[in-house]
Structure 1
Amino acid sequence: MLVKWMRCTVVDRRGFERGQRKWAGLLGEPGFRGQGGGWSRTRPGVAHLVTFWESRSFYDSFMARSHDRLAAAQMGTYTNEQTLLFEHEFDVKVGFRPVFEEADVLRLAHCQVRADRVDHFTLMQEKVWNPAMAGSPGMLRGLLGRAPGEEFLILSMWQSAAERGKYRPERLERLALRAQTEADVRSVTGDVADLEPSWTV
């Protein structure tokens, strides 16, 4: 499965949200699995969208045929667009499905991993981070995605902000020490978004 993550700074909120409704047209596209997104909690005006496709070939076909027509409704409503593509490596928890209905919060962590530590990083995601996240109250589902090279996305969906708050900083520090995250990772950037139900396709 291919995961597309887009983030942008919205300059015309009403126009952007109106244009976002046009993406319902994705429903007829071959290979389309789901789309959702919302507003950043920490960066005013920043929107995050994630879209799931069965494969890169379905996505490329969509980009060549229908993308520009659907995107036209949002032209001029945002700046600073950044789009990244990741291939699904494995699930966080079990049985990942690209559905957003029960989720309130989307967490995105973008990791640049040292080339000689990629195998260790993925092993620690599987053996340390994955069980810890899976056992956190309110955590619904997630995945680890990989871009060419040493770039990874950890995406997780949560039931509510309050539940995600139980995933406490001191626990994160203990897990990071155990997983040797500092040795594996050159940089981590990310965000937490409040999902907008009207953006779900």
Structure 2
Amino acid sequence: MLVKWSRCTVVDRHGFERGQRRWAGLLDEPGFRGQGGGWSRSTPEVAHVFAFWENRVFYDSFMARAHDRPTAPQPGMYKDLSAQLFEYRFDVKTGFEPEFTDADVVRVAHSRVHEERAEHFALMQQKVWNPAMAGSPGMLRGLFGEAPGNEFLVLSMWQSSAERGKYRPESIARLSARAETEADVRTLTGDVVGLEPSWTV
């Protein structure tokens, strides 16, 4: 599975939200698995959108044929657009599906990892972080994805921001030490995204 993570700073919020509803046409696209997104909890003008495709072949076919149709009405509504593709490697918890209807919050963590530590980083995600996240109240499902250049994405879906808040500093510090995260990671950025149901496709 291919994950596309897009984020941007929105200038025209009403127009941008209206534009998001035009993506409903993706449902007719071969290989499309689902899409959802919402607003950053820390920087309210930043929007995140997560799209899922069966594989790169279906995604490239869509981009070649149809990508300009839904995005055409949106010029001038946002700036600083960033879009990255990640290949699914494994689930966080079990049975990941790109379903957004039962989730309130998505947590996204993006790591750039030292090349010689990349496999260790992935192993620690499986052995240390995954069990801790899977056992956290309100955590529904998630995935671990990889992009060229030793970049990794951890995407997790939560029932509510209150539940997400229980997964916090002291436990994270303990887990990070056990996983040797500081030795693995060059840069780590993340965000908590409040989902907008009208953006779900």
Q: TM-score, normalised by structure 2?
A: 0.99
Q: 2:28 is matched by which residue type in structure 1?
A: G
**5 Å matches for 1:67-146?**
67-146=67-146
User: What is aligned with 2:58?
Assistant: 58
The answer to whether the 8 Å contact 1:20/1:74 transfers is no
**How far 1:5 sits from its partner (Å)?**
0.1
Please give the alpha-carbon distance, in whole angstroms, between the structure 1 residues aligned to 2:160 and 2:133.
14
Q: Secondary structure at the match of 1:74?
A: coil
Gapped regions of structure 1 (runs ≥ 5): none
User: What is aligned with 1:22?
Assistant: 22
User: What is aligned with 2:40?
Assistant: 40
User: Which 4+ residue blocks in structure 1 deviate beyond 6 angstroms?
Assistant: none
**How far 1:199 sits from its partner (Å)?**
0.2
**How far 1:44 sits from its partner (Å)?**
2.4
Residues 5-40 of structure 1, C-alpha deviation per residue, up to 9 Å, x if partnerless? 000000001110111110001000000000000000
Structure 2 residue 190 is matched with structure 1 residue 197: no
Please give the alpha-carbon distance, in whole angstroms, between the structure 1 residues aligned to 2:30 and 2:24.
14
**How far 1:70 sits from its partner (Å)?**
1.0
Q: Secondary structure at the match of 1:62?
A: helix
Q: 1:24 is matched by which residue type in structure 2?
A: A
Q: TM-score, normalised by structure 1?
A: 0.99
Please give the alpha-carbon distance, in whole angstroms, between the structure 2 residues aligned to 1:19 and 1:28.
18
Root-mean-square deviation (CA, aligned residues, Å) is 0.5
Please give the alpha-carbon distance, in whole angstroms, between the structure 2 residues aligned to 1:19 and 1:49.
12
Aligned length, in residue pairs: 201
Please give the alpha-carbon distance, in whole angstroms, between the structure 1 residues aligned to 2:162 and 2:99.
21
Q: 1:20 is matched by which residue type in structure 2?
A: Q
Please give the alpha-carbon distance, in whole angstroms, between the structure 1 residues aligned to 2:32 and 2:200.
13
Please give the alpha-carbon distance, in whole angstroms, between the structure 1 residues aligned to 2:119 and 2:33.
29
Residues 110-146 of structure 1, C-alpha deviation per residue, up to 9 Å, x if partnerless? 0000000011101100000000000000000000000
Please give the alpha-carbon distance, in whole angstroms, between the structure 1 residues aligned to 2:188 and 2:120.
16
Gapped regions of structure 2 (runs ≥ 5): none
User: What percent of counterpart residues are identical?
Assistant: 72
Please give the alpha-carbon distance, in whole angstroms, between the structure 2 residues aligned to 1:98 and 1:73.
26
